[in-house]
Each structure stands twice: as C-alpha cells, then as structure tokens.
C-alpha cells in the first residue's frame, strides 16, 4: 500500500455519503441507483487511492468519481420520467391502468433521512426541498449529463463555476455556456408549484388525510385535495387529474381493495410520505405503496403512489419501513 493510499485509508469517507447520495440521485433520478452509484464511488476511491495527489480537495475528487460513475450508469439508458410525462391523464377507470413498466422507466423516490442536510437553517431546508422534489429531479433528466452535473454543482450545491470547471475537466466559459443552455431547457418545461415549509395547519391536514384514508372515507378525502390535484401510480403509466376523478378511481373495484389499509409516516423527496399497508389474507398487513404527498396553500396537490412491486425487496426498507405489520 502506498503512503497516499495509507493516508486515505485513515480518512473516513462516510461523512461524504449523504451529500454524494443527494448528488447521484439528482443525476440519476433513482433512489436505488443513487445508492449503488455511491457504493461504486467509494469502491473506486479505495481502489485508486494512490491517484489522489492532494492537489484538489478530497470532496472534489470524490465528486469527480461520482460524476463519472453516474455518466457510466446512464449510457444508452432511457431517460427516467414520471407518468405525467408519458402521456395525457386518463379517465378514472381501472381498465385504463395498462401494462406494468419496469422500474428503470420511472423517477423513483428517495428517503429524506439519507440526503437531507444535517443541522441546516430554515432557508437551507427550503432550498433542499426544492432541489429534491420529484418534479425538479424529473426536469433534470431532460438535460445532457454534463449540463445536469454543471447545474447541480453550481445552482443546487452552490459550487463556484471555477470549481465545477475543474471537476468536469473543462473551462469556466464552457461551464457558463452549459448552465445557460440548462436553464433554457428547464424554463421550457411546464411550471410546477413550489414547496413551502409545513405549518401546524398542514400537520392537521395530514392527520385528516390519514384518518380519511384509513377509514376509506373517500368523500372526506376528496375535500382535502385541490380541485386540479394529480395522482400517479408507478409502475403504471396511468395518471389522474382532478379531485373528483381521483375519488371516483379510488372506489373502482381494484383500488377499493385498499380499504382497511394502514399508513405509517415517513419523508421522501422533501415531502410528507406514508408507507401504505394493505390487509394480508395471511394476517396483519403487507406493504403496498409508498405515498408521496405534495401540499400547497393548505391543500394536497399531488399524490404519487409508488407501488411496492417496483422493487419489493428495497422500497420499504429504504425508508425504514417494516415489511409486515401485525394486526
């Protein structure tokens, strides 16, 4: 082992894991792939420790490795999206669900516990939530990889343009040009609501939502939704727009089997989220969906239900949720 490798072996890389996970998630659009990318980044760092000459910071060196890992992972891979980018909204009929699509089709959620900044002030928390929202991460997937990296580094992580240029092995003018093109692409995409810090009224709204859902009081639940609220259900491409249609769909024969479900609270993508457990014929409750809710103006504006068969071995455990609930 070289002296440089020995020095690096004494350095704990774990403090970088959280920020690297957030970076890789924004690059890849998948919580699962972000974890895999960070693991690969750490492995490459250990294997090539002797190439770290100390001329740049350890942080910059790790981000350079992570960027290369993410670009390698995305070569010849279809851009991830949300159902809303796949086509128009559907009537509230189960017959419109269509086929299951593979997990690689979708932008998938990530737990706040793995990427949220520690000890951040309120302004930093708001900035974090905006930068990790499903809509923003989806928008990032429209950018070429190097534009995406430049935008995340400079506008999300607030690196100096010169730092980003060094990491990307390019010039400051080239990074500025990439940023300009990236901003233009994002401006051309449909605007989304901005997140706001949740207040006591929002906490009460969420409590009413849990009560209505667990009692399956759909009339009551619909009153908590904004009139133009949307609901999606990956791995199905079908999505709904409008509180009334969402309510009708939830009473369809298939969705109505969610009656009797229980919800456990968590956080995903800067938003309140719930693990939904359906009654298990063998007893207790089994995982069914991770619900990510978006709130604006005291109303629920978005309900993204990531069904557990996207990746049953990883989805619920990634959010610290059990794989079974007792009755």
Model confidence at 201: pLDDT above 70: yes
Model confidence at 312: pLDDT above 80: no
Positive or negative: CA dihedral 325, 232, 113, 311: positive
Task: Please compute Rg for the chain using Cα positions.
Answer: 21
Same domain, 124 and 44: yes
Report the b/e string of 250-281 with b at 16+ CB within 10 A.
beeeebeebeebbbbebbbbbbbbbbbbbbee
**Is 324 domain-assigned?**
no
Same domain, 109 and 172: yes
The two three-digit tokens of residue 44, written as one number = 């490459």
**Is 326 domain-assigned?**
no
Domain containing residue 300: CATH number: 3.10.450.50
Note the pLDDT of residue 65. 95
Total domains in the chain come to 2
Model confidence at 327: pLDDT above 90: no
Q: In this structure, what DSSP letter does residue 196 have?
A: -
**Is 192 domain-assigned?**
no
Note the pLDDT of residue 9. 53
Q: For residues 244 and 229, give the distance between their C-alpha atoms in angstroms, rounded to a whole number.
A: 9
Domain final residue, candidates 155, 187, 219: 187
Alpha-carbon separation of residue 115 from 17, 131, 211 (angstroms): 9, 11, 29
Same domain, 154 and 32: yes
Note the pLDDT of residue 152. 97
Identify which of 198, 193, 289, 183 has the alpha carbon closest to the alpha carbon of residue 235: 289
The residues pairing with 111 across neighbouring beta strands, listed in sequence order, are 268
pLDDT digits (tens, 9 = 90+) for 148-166: 999 999 999 999 999 999 9
Domain that holds residue 43: 3-187
**Is 313 domain-assigned?**
yes
Same domain, 157 and 42: yes
Which residue in this structure is represented by tokens 């509230």? 92
Domain containing residue 130: CATH number: 1.20.140.160
Phi, psi torsion values for 232, nearest 5 degrees: -125, 165
The two three-digit tokens of residue 220, written as one number = 């009551």
Q: What does the DSSP assignment read for 38-101?
A: HHHHHHHHHHTGGG--SSS-HHHHHHHHHHHHHHHHHTT-PPPB-GGGTS----S-GGG---B-
Same domain, 75 and 98: yes
**Is 255 domain-assigned?**
yes
Q: Give the chain's mean pLDDT.
A: 91
Same domain, 28 and 158: yes
Same domain, 157 and 210: no
Q: Is the CB of residue 66 less than 8 Å from the CB of residue 93?
A: no
Q: What does the DSSP assignment read for 137-151?
A: HHHHTTS-HHHHHHH
3-state secondary structure of 302: strand
Same domain, 89 and 211: no
Model confidence at 11: pLDDT above 80: no
Same domain, 161 and 272: no
Identify which of 70, 20, 71 has the alpha carbon closest to the alpha carbon of residue 42: 20
Note the pLDDT of residue 119. 66
Model confidence at 223: pLDDT above 80: yes
pLDDT digits (tens, 9 = 90+) for 269-309: 999 999 999 999 999 999 999 999 999 999 999 999 999 88
Instruction: Tell me the pTM.
Output: 0.92
Note the pLDDT of residue 58. 85
3-state secondary structure of 147: helix
pLDDT digits (tens, 9 = 90+) for 230-278: 999 999 999 999 999 999 999 999 999 999 999 999 999 999 999 999 9
183 burial via Cβ count (<10 Å: 0-12, 13-18, 19+):
middle
């Amino acid at each position: 082992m070289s002296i440089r490798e020995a020095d690096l072996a004494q350095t704990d890389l774990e403090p970088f894991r959280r920020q690297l996970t957030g970076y890789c998630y924004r690059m890849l659009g998948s919580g699962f792939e972000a974890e895999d990318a960070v693991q690969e980044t750490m492995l490459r760092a250990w294997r090539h420790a002797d190439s770290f000459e100390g001329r740049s910071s350890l942080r910059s060196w790790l981000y350079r490795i992570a960027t290369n890992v993410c670009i390698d992972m995305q070569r010849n891979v279809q851009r991830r999206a949300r159902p809303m980018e796949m086509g128009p909204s559907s009537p509230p009929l189960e017959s419109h669900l269509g086929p299951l699509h593979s997990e690689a089709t979708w932008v998938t959620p990530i737990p706040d516990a793995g990427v949220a900044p520690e000890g951040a002030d309120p302004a930093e928390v708001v900035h974090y939530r905006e930068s990790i929202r499903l809509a923003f991460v989806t928008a990032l997937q429209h950018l070429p990889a190097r534009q995406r990296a430049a935008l995340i580094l400079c506008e999300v992580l607030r690196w100096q343009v010169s730092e980003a240029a060094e990491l990307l092995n390019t010039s400051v003018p080239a990074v500025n040009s990439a940023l300009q093109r990236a901003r233009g692409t994002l401006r051309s995409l449909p605007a989304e609501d901005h997140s706001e810090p949740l207040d006591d009224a929002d906490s009460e709204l969420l409590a009413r939502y849990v009560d209505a859902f667990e009692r399956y009081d759909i009339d009551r639940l619909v009153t908590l939704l904004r009139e133009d609220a949307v609901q999606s259900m990956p791995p199905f491409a079908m999505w709904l727009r409008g509180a009334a249609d969402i309510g009708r769909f939830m009473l369809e024969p298939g969705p109505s089997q969610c009656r009797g479900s229980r919800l456990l609270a968590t956080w995903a993508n800067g938003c309140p989220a719930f693990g939904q457990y359906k009654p298990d014929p063998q007893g207790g409750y089994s995982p069914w969906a991770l619900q990510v809710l978006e709130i604006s103006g005291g109303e629920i504006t978005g309900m993204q239900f990531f069904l557990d068969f996207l990746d049953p071995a990883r989805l619920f455990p990634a959010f610290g949720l059990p794989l079974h609930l007792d009755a």
